[in-house]
Amino acid sequence: MYQIKTYNAIAQAGLDQFNDQYQINKTNDADAYLIRSVNLHDESFPKSLKIIARAGAGFNNIPLDRATKDGIAVFNTPGSNANAVKELIISLLVASSRNLFDAAAYSAHNSGADISLRTEHDKTKFKGSELTGKTLAVVGVGHVGSLVANAASALGMNVIGYDPYLSSDAAWHISTTITRARTLDEALKDADYVTVHVPKNEETTGLIGKEQLAVMKDGVHLFNYSRGGIVNNQAAVEALDAHHLQTYMTDFGEDILLNRDDVVVTPHIGGSTDEAEVNGATQGAHTIMTYLETGNIQNSVNLPNLQVPFQAPYRITLIHKNIPNMVGQIATALANAGINIESMSNAARKDVAYTMIDLDNLKNEEDNKLIDTLSKIDAVFRVRVLKH
């Protein structure tokens, strides 16, 4: 029986994917965590833990290096909530161009006998502009950014995308109407609207700061629905005070953003739709079952991808450092145990590697001894034995 531990609200439809080999939230000694935004940086992991599946895109809440050293595979669910974020960004583009929040707040407090007279007089304050023909810069053109770019283009906007690491797969999803910027400044300088859709990491922290804001045109609208810290909020507030930035909308609040008419803060709701939550939980559940039952890896964020159908009834998987002679040592340990290798596959990702070995014969009583021997090889982080 495999044990699953969940954190945050995980959609029931996702939990329903687990078959009767799985128990949910029965013990802390879990084989798998299925999580959303919980911060795991200060948590130690139980020895039993083999996989963390993040239902969603961002994985900056997970200590990846520590997880790798503990032999834990970490996955996200790419694209599962991208449409939810896209629809929210499109609504915010419209809301900012039509002063929707201010106009609605005005009407909420406008009452009395002469209401229609006052409305007709005051509505000029809320006159907006149209999105068609305006320029949108999309920074990060992955799952979310590409959908935002294509939808904005369909609304008649000129869209400029900036993504120095764009994968060829992702490029297939971008409309030919999107202009590609070679530098961040090139994307920002003509934009009436800027939206940021990058992962949070060392490189992207402060990606939009004082200098980048200075490159933008007067009156620009900025959206940060990626992560707090990717836009430097202090710099954004200064640009708002100088009436250089017209509005700033973000999913990630901070005290300096409070009580301002030119800021809209939403409570991290970018991926909060029924559909996105079901997609993420379902994809996460399938990722967990595949990894626990077959060892196959797709969409890991700390291990290399490696998918091989079972070639024999038994499979040994090893997570280890990507250094010379690891495969040699593993093969020698198996040979010393008198075990013949049916098939062996290995893949590496930076300084970590993953090896899967399929075997015809493995006596039950030998499992523990073999795991012990393989685990003792220096630089091996995790050994598992699976049966087909």
- According to CB under 6 A, which residues from 69 to 108 bind ligand NAI? 78, 81-82, 85
Decide whether 36 or 382 has the Cβ nearer to ligand AKG: 36
Please identify which residue in 15, 67, 72, 139 interacts with ligand NAI, judged by CB under 6 A.
Answer: 139
Query: Which residues are paired to 29 by β-bridges?
Result: none
CA distances from 141 to 50, 59, 168, 378 (A): 31, 18, 11, 40
Smallest gap from Cβ 54 to ligand AKG, in A, equals: 7
Please identify which residue in 175, 272, 294, 296 interacts with ligand AKG, judged by CB under 6 A.
Answer: 272
The DSSP code for 264 is E
CA 248/CA 36 separation, integer angstroms: 26
Look at residue 37 and give the partner it binds from ligand NAI, ligand AKG, none, a contact being a CB closer than 5 to 8 Å depending on partner kind: ligand AKG
- Residue among 265, 230, 272 at smallest CA distance from 81: 272
Judged by CB under 6 A, does residue 300 bind ligand NAI? no
Judged by CB under 6 A, does residue 163 bind ligand NAI? yes
Q: Report the side by side order of strands in the sheet with 135-139.
A: 179-180, 158-162, 135-139, 193-196, 220-224, 245-250, 263-265
- According to CB under 6 A, which residues from 213 to 232 bind ligand NAI? 225-227
Judged by CB under 6 A, does residue 36 bind ligand NAI? no
Contact 344, 314 (CB under 8 A): no
Judged by CB under 6 A, does residue 79 bind ligand AKG? no
The DSSP code for 36 is S
Applying CB under 6 A, the span of 235-243, 264-272, 286-294, 338-346 interacting with ligand AKG comes to 264-272
Judged by CB under 6 A, does residue 170 bind ligand NAI? yes
Please identify which residue in 2, 22, 56, 303 interacts with ligand AKG, judged by CB under 6 A.
Answer: 56
10 Å Cβ neighbour count for 247? 23
CA 130/CA 145 separation, integer angstroms: 21
Smallest gap from Cβ 251 to ligand NAI, in A, equals: 4
Q: State how beta strands 51-54 and 73-76 pair.
A: parallel
By the criterion CB under 6 A, which residues form the site for ligand NAI? 56-58, 78, 81-82, 85, 139-145, 162-166, 170, 197-200, 203-204, 207, 225-227, 251, 268, 270-271
- Chain contacts with ligand AKG (rule: CB under 6 A): 36-37, 56-58, 81, 270-272
